[in-house]
Amino acid sequence: MTKLFGTDGVRGTANSHPMTAEMALRIGAAVGRYFRQDDKGVHRVVIGKDTRLSGYMFENALTAGLTSTGMNVLLLGPVPTPAVGLLTRSMRADLGVMISASHNPAHDNGIKFFGPDGFKLSDEMEAEIEALVESGVKPTDAHNIGRAKRIDDSRFRYIERVKSSFPRQMRLDGLKVVIDCANGAAHHVAPMALWELGADVIPMGVAPNGHNINQGCGSTHPQAAAEMVVAHGADVGICLDGDADRVILIDEAGNIGDGDQFMALMAARWAAEKRLNGGALVATVMSNLGLERFLEDLGLRLERTGVGDRYVVERMRQGGYNLGGEQSGHIVMLDHATTGDGLMAGLQFLAEMVRADRPASALMHQFEPVPQLLQNVRFSADQRPLEMEAVKKAIAGAEAQLGGGGRLLIRKSGTEPLVRVMAEHEDPALMQEAVDDVVSAVEKAVAG
């Protein structure tokens, strides 16, 4: 069997391997057996999902697999990924499951797992579960089969938790906020939380139909929200992705900011307040070189990890750090949540606007980014382009070309069959040439 788990759980096209109902049932049984090693006591799992049509299919299949091993299933319905992490811990569950392919199109789906502490599972745990999927598990006795129950107030529990991260006694009165929910999991909770805090809310991407999640909206397509901000004279725009674990911000002029600028703002603020643990921010190898230089000027460090918010969280927990994230908009604040939370991060930005009494544009541009270029090359599942000598030679040549004034990063995507070629350099022409050379070599290798 090919490897199931990628950088963020299991993911693929719905009704194609590995994202089939049959495989979801097997995964449910395996993870249920893993977290219920015996038939003693009460064991429970919470399951959340986003708004994809295939979510119904996977919810039912996972429930069947989990209950077959004696797990009691609590169905949360459509909720953000961070809500699953939160409710796994607060409901004393053994396991949390989120059915979502995050920012991917509607035809994809995925399954992410959280342990009883609300954090995503480690690579080692996933490998053990994958072995159980392959070998199969014995179902429990008939009298120990689990039950399934819908939890009707999961959205409201999450809203209250998100609001508790917002400064007490502070309100958003007078702020006009565009909130783009990507027709995804936050289409109820995000506008409601903002409204309860006093904002004048302009919602978009709040009419999911099973097929339109992330379609021309949300954090991967913020242009529509940027136009809405300008058209309505809004103070700020907040764009979430399909499962609401990432955020992209838009200022009052319609300019789009990324996670690096937000992390720079929060790191500087927390450091000034003496609450940035370890004097460091944790981010991935994709974060801009300009962010690293900005932090160095403040006497702070940038701790880099592999791509994926779970690796950011692992480094944060290992080093005792409390702020981290990704350029793509995953913002992790361990003082408040166990994983990236787009809505919570957006509220922190709004709090800073109120506290500083400054417009979004003054807060969203903290440093001048070093020019950065990213290009993707698609390959087949059976191909290994990065292992070919011609590609290795092209990469070495590009690295030499950029010298010490920039960076070259070549990696395989953990969620799609893509080779990602990224470079940074003060000279855009030199950077373009280096990327073109590597992309050309990979394309030739893929073409055979």
Q: Which residues are catalytic?
A: 102
Are the C-beta atoms of residues 185 and 100 closer than 8 Å to each other?
yes
Dist. CA 135–CA 276, nearest whole Å: 45
Strand partners, 9: 6
> Whats the size of the chain, residue-wise?
448
Task: Report DSSP state, residue 339.
Answer: S
Adjacency order of strands within the sheet including 256-257: 200-204, 176-180, 236-240, 247-250, 256-257
- Strands 5-6 and 9-13, bridge-based pairing: antiparallel
Q: Comparing C-alpha atoms, which of 358, 317, 319 is closest to residue 339?
A: 317
Dist. CA 328–CA 115, nearest whole Å: 24
Dist. CA 70–CA 31, nearest whole Å: 11
Q: Which residue type sits at 93? A: A
Phi/psi of residue 365, nearest 5 degrees = -115, 90
Three-state SS for 444?
Answer: helix
**What is the Cα Rg of the chain in Å?**
22
Are the C-beta atoms of residues 78 and 185 closer than 8 Å to each other?
yes
Number of C-alpha atoms within 13 angstroms, CB side, residue 343?
34
Helix (H) or strand (E) segment spanning residue 409: strand 406-412
Are the C-beta atoms of residues 442 and 375 closer than 8 Å to each other?
no
